[in-house]
Amino acid sequence: MDELWTGIVWSLAPTILVGLLFWVVMRSIVRADRTERKAYARMEAEERARRGLPQKP
């Protein structure tokens, strides 16, 4: 019976690890994109204020 559980664990471990790795990578990409968009919006708002243009809605 122990061999059965060992086989199950060893067969599922790679799938679970790859899934976790994919999740971590995607999470970091989404967070980086969110941070970059905030920085770009801040720069655009500063540029609009400097030129005297109305704020973007």
Give residue 49's pLDDT: 93
**Could you say which residues of the chain have pLDDT below 50?**
none
pLDDT of residue 39: 97
Cα(53)–Cα(30) distance, rounded to whole angstroms? 31
pLDDT at residue 56, rounded to an integer:
81
Q: What is the DSSP string of 5-55?
A: HHHHHHHHHHHHHHHHHHHHHHHHHHHHHHHHHHHHHHHHHHHHHHHTPPP
pLDDT of 15 reads: 96
Looking at residue 1, what is its pLDDT? 82
Per-residue pLDDT, 29? 98
Residues 34-49 pLDDT 10s:
999 999 999 999 999 9
CA angle 46, 30, 39 (to 5 degrees): 10
Element (H, E) at 2: helix 2-51
